[in-house]
Structure 1
């Protein structure tokens, strides 16, 4: 019997598996294709999120020239951005798993049964794996975790290409967090859910350009995103000369939290850890895995504790009352962003990035306390346009149930 069984081998699975191994636990993994396996998506992060952890060596690229184009402004963000080297990131976690002598099994979780001192996961092939606690890190459609249903899931969607172009699609050595300029679209197209360009210069005349929908319900289709990207490039007289990689990205931004009473702990997308305001998650995985793992390691020391009690301790660490209050505030913000038309949305972001960098950067990293979050939101409210302010006040009334949850906990 293992101390912990981790379901999934994506970034979330490897992050929590490595942290559990660091705690000296006997850990097993279950995945359809055990690692190492190539990850096709790109993962970006602000460099100052990695510096306290001394992990900037995991980056393949860094950009000091980070900008945003919103409300007819080019805003210099003054913050260094990085792109993970997926192989280095994966190896960083796998090397720690190897030191802990972690065992990986190939398969999927088909059934789960809880006993007094362990949980048992069975694969479709009949392989049974027992552990004191099971950690479901299998993504947004988790294998084992249960969560309330929602009829209005908002999705971030993106279509991107890595390649060479007839002329540079962005400035040399530049990273573009968001380019909401829409002069390439017709008036009717601009009434549809807004999208923006996320782009970076990868060097050697290679660029990554991606048309992105921040959040929408239903999701903006890949076909629309591809058409918009092609129109954006053509409007600037840029032709695609060589495609080296195509990226499709689709994930939910506002999944309900899983039931925190269940005897399985979640991590990553399975545990609704995607940042509701940005869609980022890797930074949170790196920061929060050690704390969750330490809680689990302490809980399994009591050999008489059932899986339910171990899971309860881990859930309380992952989703404390303060973390849940902050998430509710982020969800309130997300609802606002989805209601804004293109002009209001751009005005909002122009105001947001004019806040003190310490505020907007920590807001995007989810490292503020609840009072600090409220202060940041009030600062934005006081310095934004009348139109944005009116829309926020209207949302405060229509989404008063969300705000009440923040107050009562």
Structure 2
């Protein structure tokens, strides 16, 4: 059996590297367990609003940055409906290797083990991780950063979890699939669909010009339980491109994504702490997480470093300090507000979603930006949601009101009472 380290991080993806780096920079003894090499290339792309990175002085980690950022919320078919909604805020795509190296460079003192955790057992003053290899490792605190499906993190069962599913292609095309130099956050135009298809779960195009004749185009479903199948998204993407007279000439990369959007918050009394997807940190309104990792990891690492300085604290007490730092009451309530709103949107058809997002992006820029990045204080978030409700057409209001009575009480009380 190995010596007992301060913190043992499970996982080797963005969340694991992020928290390991922040802890290491604060002098915490950290080890990690990951099934693959932590410097192996990441397969998926990560986008973010450039202002989020500027706020933490990390915008140099962007590989691409677009000033022409738009969405389309018309049905298509006439010139007026094809007019884009301009967002007026830069959007960026991470240089994945640069982001990965940023965290690896901060974690140079971390010892990584190529293995996977089979189970975690908690004793009075430490936790024990039994690995698939048969190795047994001890730590004062275990942080699970292996993702939303971790078997080591317990959470309430509230039924099927809605997923944001996406299928995308990086490639070359017979014609430009979007305007040169442009980023498209959401293209909900549906003129390529039959009347019957418009009754099916809505999907939208997320796309960007990568330069040198390369484009990334991705068909995305906002959220559904179960998530929309990849073959459906692939067919929808082809149909969308065909309708615009565009064919894929060369596929350089295919991307398959499925993000849990309404995952319940974990049981915050358990002795294993979570971070990233395992901690339900995916934004329920947008599906984004990297910005949240960057903003919240330093505070969590500070709290844990202070707690670890007290040798009398065991795993349960250390985890409790960590849960309190990661999910204070305000963030819990904000998270549930977002989940409440998502639950309503999941019942909207394609026409109502187009109307909703058109109304949403008519809000003041700082309001919709703060909403999508989860950076608004709770009172202001509630004010923005009330403003959105006031601006919404009657049919949208009716959908929101009819759903409110069903979910508001259990969502707020069940989660907030776990502090």
**Range into which the TM-score falls when normalised by the shorter chain:** over 0.9
User: 1:104 aligns to what?
Assistant: 112
1:332–1:402 CA contact under 8 A, matched in 2: no
User: 1:238 aligns to what?
Assistant: 246
User: 2:192 aligns to what?
Assistant: 184
User: 2:93 aligns to what?
Assistant: 83
Q: 1:333 aligns with which of 320, 329, 341?
A: 341
Using the TM superposition, name which of 157-166 and 395-404 deviates more.
395-404
CA distance in 1, matches of 2:416, 2:269: 20
Q: Deviations over 1:302-348 (max 9, x none)?
A: 11111100000100111111111111100111011101111111100
**Number of equivalent positions:** 407
CA deviation after TM superposition for structure 1 residue 22, in Å: 1.1
CA distance in 1, matches of 2:222, 2:301: 31
1:329–1:402 CA contact under 8 A, matched in 2: no
CA deviation after TM superposition for structure 1 residue 112, in Å: 1.7
Ranges of 4+ aligned residues in structure 1 off by more than 6 Å: 406-409
- Alpha-carbon spacing, 1:92–1:40, altered in 2? closer, same or farther (3 Å): same
Q: 1:318 aligns with which of 315, 319, 326?
A: 326
Q: Deviations over 1:35-69 (max 9, x none)?
A: 10111100000000000211011110000000000
CA distance in 2, matches of 1:297, 1:348: 44
Q: 1:125 aligns with which of 133, 137, 144?
A: 133
User: 1:134 aligns to what?
Assistant: 142
3-state SS, counterpart of residue 242 of structure 1: strand
CA deviation after TM superposition for structure 1 residue 122, in Å: 1.4
User: 1:212 aligns to what?
Assistant: 220
1:16–1:289 CA contact under 8 A, matched in 2: yes
User: 1:162 aligns to what?
Assistant: 170
RMSD, aligned CA: 1.4
3-state SS, counterpart of residue 17 of structure 2: helix
1:325–1:405 CA contact under 8 A, matched in 2: no
1:328–1:402 CA contact under 8 A, matched in 2: no
- Alpha-carbon spacing, 1:77–1:95, altered in 2? closer, same or farther (3 Å): same
CA distance in 1, matches of 2:406, 2:269: 30
1:170–1:199 CA contact under 8 A, matched in 2: yes
User: 1:349 aligns to what?
Assistant: 357
Report the TM-score when normalising by structure 2.
0.95
CA distance in 2, matches of 1:292, 1:143: 22
CA deviation after TM superposition for structure 1 residue 11, in Å: 0.5
CA distance in 1, matches of 2:69, 2:177: 15
Mapping of 1:354-365 within 5 angstroms? 354-365=362-373
CA distance in 1, matches of 2:314, 2:397: 50
3-state SS, counterpart of residue 355 of structure 1: coil
User: 2:78 aligns to what?
Assistant: none
User: 1:49 aligns to what?
Assistant: 52
CA distance in 1, matches of 2:293, 2:404: 31
2:71–2:185 CA contact under 8 A, matched in 1: yes
- Structure 2: where are the runs of 5+ without partners? 75-80
3-state SS, counterpart of residue 183 of structure 2: strand
CA distance in 1, matches of 2:346, 2:289: 20
Mapping of 1:359-398 within 5 angstroms? 359-398=367-406
CA distance in 1, matches of 2:259, 2:33: 22
Are 2:75 and 1:65 aligned? Answer: no
- Structure 1: where are the runs of 5+ without partners? none
CA deviation after TM superposition for structure 1 residue 217, in Å: 1.1
